[in-house]
Amino acid sequence: MTMSQATFAKVRRVLIGSLAALAAISAAGAPAQEPMTAEAPQDAIFKRPTDVTLIMSTSHGKYDGTYQRSEVSQICGEQSAEMSLSGGKVFLVQFPDSLEQQEINDVNFGSAALVGGVTSTSKFYVTVGVVPKSGGRPPGYVLDTTHPDNTGTAALAVTGGTTQLKVDGVNDRGETINLTVVCKPRKR
């Protein structure tokens, strides 16, 4: 039995997101300080209208640029322990839900520390796939703060059913990322 390219890409995206969640959970530990808490519960996490803005720099031209995409996300929000492959709560973003190729092809974010009302952490894993304006297809950008020389912060705000995630970081190659994901309430 053979798998179509579209099916393979969807399976790949789900697996990468699952690995991001597992990496985030293994990286999480007890917060070093009293956690700040979010103001409101998050809307349902599946199939939310989502806007992504991404600024990448210091990659020697590989990813440098500003990228934007608005589409429905596969997952955006706190996944319960019962739904998680790892058995623990995790905040996930898997974007987009479609396989259409645009300047942002995929964003996968996971953090087991950014749950339960916590609004800021330095423990997360993010991968991003882009099509640079200069052309080509560079390998995906990876920032895993459990690895040496990978640093960053992720901040979460939940207001009126809208979830906003901001990620700033630098990977071990010195490549910087500034990512903003805004997940809106699903239309009823």
pLDDT tens by residue, the chain, 188 residues: 444 444 444 444 444 444 444 444 444 443 333 333 443 445 588 899 999 999 999 888 788 889 999 999 999 999 876 776 677 889 999 999 888 788 899 999 999 999 999 999 999 999 999 988 777 777 789 999 999 899 999 999 999 889 999 999 999 999 999 999 999 998 86
- % of the chain beyond a pLDDT of 90: 51
pLDDT reported for residue 24: 45
pLDDT reported for residue 43: 52
The answer to whether the beta carbons of residues 99 and 10 sit under 8 Å apart is: yes
- Chain segment 72-121, per-residue pLDDT in tens: 999 999 987 677 667 788 999 999 988 878 889 999 999 999 999 999 99
pLDDT reported for residue 50: 96
- Taking the mean position of all CA atoms in its chain, how far away is CA 107? 5
pLDDT reported for residue 111: 95
pLDDT reported for residue 18: 47
pLDDT reported for residue 145: 96
pLDDT reported for residue 12: 46
Q: Per the confidence metrics, is the pTM higher than 0.85?
A: no
pLDDT reported for residue 60: 80
Distance CA(71)–CA(75), nearest Å, equals 12
Distance CA(74)–CA(58), nearest Å, equals 29
CA dihedral (25, 117, 185, 178) positive or negative? negative
Amino acid (one-letter) located at 104: I
Show the tokens assigned to 79. 């996944």
pLDDT reported for residue 63: 82
pLDDT reported for residue 140: 86
